[in-house]
Amino acid sequence: MADFAAKRFWKDTTVAAIEDGFTVLLDGRNVRTPAKALLVVPTETMAEQVRLEWDAQEGEIDPNVMPFTRGANAAIDKVSVQHAEVADMLAEYGDSDLLCYRATFPQELMAQQAQAWDPILEWLFDTYGVRLETRQGVMPIPQNETALGQLRAQVHALDKFQLSAFHDLVSLSGSLALGFAATESLQPPESLWELSRVDESFQIAQWGEDDEATRVADIKRTSFVHAYDFFHMAQK
């Protein structure tokens, strides 16, 4: 966005098919990333979302309300040049996956974790042939290296746009398993997000809500849902 003036200067926004995908034009001028690369996305659906964000700008351009543009910029300027590093970093979540670390008390929380998380881990095994083992307590215990290697290969297979979205799906939820569940549309994004909030929801039920914590959680939930949509819009 740094290639443009701080305020809107264009009248028309359009989507154009070009080599390798689709781009957005502002009065016929190509939108470019902060690194000045041509903004090219893999699908017309995603390009239309980017176009709508630019078309909605009035007065000063506000990147904070342009999540699809930001996601495309990240994929092109950042993920594409360090794909392997990003993939390795996300794959490491499998060794400390939220879904694997279980409470030792109270019994009610233990039951809620098992009810919410066991089906996801079973699905992961059925889909990828990888068994992530659960642990009691918070002390880290390494997972099987072969299992982690299989998951790492799946992460590396994602393209730059998918990996950009996968980064948020995993880092926001704290779970590689939930990230994969999102890529396969195992459940709606809101439901998957709630699965990452079992511990927090239990505490809220016991002690009530904290306004600031709720505000932060709402921001993260919105980002998780957007990442889910971005991932699936990136699929040709």
Residue 144 DSSP label = P
Tens of pLDDT along 167-198? 999 999 999 999 999 999 999 999 999 999 99
3-state secondary structure of 224: helix
Percent pLDDT > 70 in the chain is: 97
Give the integer Cα–Cα distance in Å for 48 and 46.
Answer: 5
Instruction: Please report the DSSP string for 50-73 in residue order.
Output: HHHHHHT--SB--GGG-HHHHHHH
For the entire predicted model, the pTM comes to 0.94
Tens of pLDDT along 192-236? 999 999 999 999 999 999 999 999 999 999 999 999 999 999 998
Q: What's residue 150's pLDDT?
A: 97
Confidence of residue 18 (pLDDT cuts 50, 70, 90): very high
